[in-house]
Amino acid sequence: MIEVKDLHKSFGEQNVLKGIDFVFETGKTNLIIGQSGSGKSVLLKSMLGIFTPEKGKIEYDGKAYSSFNPEQKRELRKEMGMLFQGGALFDSMTVEENVMFPLRMFRKGKKKNHLDRVYEVLDRVKLGEEHRKKFPAEISGGMQKRVAIARAIVNKPKYLFCDEPNSGLDPKTATIIDNLIHELTVEYEITTVVITHDMNSVLEIGENIAFLKDGVLAWKGDKSQIFKTDDETVTDFVYSSDLFKKVRQAQLQGL
């Protein structure tokens, strides 16, 4: 569990986060949604320790990050997995080398043991032996995303952070990736935090949703509640596309 308490973050005169309170639950896909500039990325980077808030706390399983010494912060970093927007795979490394990279960085042990773990997670994300020696440019975008997920979970993280995991994917592949992230979250009891603009992701895996607007938590709930709320701030965001406007109209008409 990650708990954010009264979090404030500014850059010069610009107040980006203005007292965020939210609990990111273990074993659930926790989504951060909102328009561009609402503070989503700053919140994520604050939880990762990249930004230091001026006020408030971020607690990992009840322990405040601000109280950690450098060694404790390094140990916490080992428990984090990161799925970057676009995947961010190393072009010059093969699939298995990309997945092994965090093990080489953070874990001691024999190469064979590392490879065993690499093959285990590649199998888990349904990438077979025939893809292990390929380079990212030689596989599809959906496969690249699977490799990135395998790399993010290879260290058996307690906390998984995903920045726009469906970026650049077609709707069918995006749904598959959403479901894979959710399956891994439940299977391994991970606290998963996902930044997304994709309303399909909200519908698929939105178990615990934080909606940010202008740096404040404007709404929280789950996927079953977001389409029932009368909060105009939320409905303006949710029903911004023509398709979802039609869905909203049908709901209001009771169809």
State the Cα–Cα distance between residues 9 and 46, nearest whole angstrom. 8
List of residues 6+ apart from 178 with CB closer than 8 A: 165, 166, 200, 201, 204, 205
pLDDT at 229: 85
pLDDT at 239: 75
pLDDT at 56: 96
| Residue carrying the six token digits 């509640």 | 225
State the Cα–Cα distance between residues 205 and 31, nearest whole angstrom. 8
State the Cα–Cα distance between residues 205 and 182, nearest whole angstrom. 7
Per-position pLDDT tens, the chain of length 255: 999 999 999 999 999 999 999 999 999 999 999 998 899 999 999 999 999 999 999 999 999 999 999 999 999 999 999 998 877 899 999 999 999 999 988 777 777 889 999 999 999 999 989 999 999 999 999 999 999 999 999 999 999 999 999 888 898 999 999 999 999 999 999 999 999 988 889 989 999 999 999 999 999 999 989 878 888 888 888 776 666 666 656 655 665
173 CB-contact burial (10 Å; exposed 0-12 / middle 13-18 / buried 19+): middle
Edge-to-edge strand ranges of the sheet holding 2-11: 14-24, 2-11, 55-60, 63-64
State the Cα–Cα distance between residues 220 and 207, nearest whole angstrom. 10
State the Cα–Cα distance between residues 108 and 131, nearest whole angstrom. 26
pLDDT at 87: 77
| Residue carrying the six token digits 């601000």 | 66
pLDDT at 235: 82
DSSP 8-state assignment for residue 128 = -
Sign of CA dihedral 198, 200, 206, 212: positive
Locate 35 and state its tokens. Answer: 């328009």
Phi, psi of 11 (to 5 degrees): -130, 100
Q: CA 23: distance to chain centroid?
A: 15
Locate 198 and state its tokens. Answer: 């994709």
Element (H, E) at 187: helix 171-188
pLDDT at 198: 86
pLDDT at 248: 59
pLDDT at 254: 60
State the Cα–Cα distance between residues 217 and 179, nearest whole angstrom. 26
CB atoms within 10 A of CB 166: 24
> Beta strand pairing status for 208-213 and 216-221?
antiparallel
Ranges of each domain in the chain:
1-79+158-222, 87-156
CATH among 3.50.50.60, 3.40.50.300, 3.40.50.2300, 1.10.540.10 for 1-79+158-222: 3.40.50.300
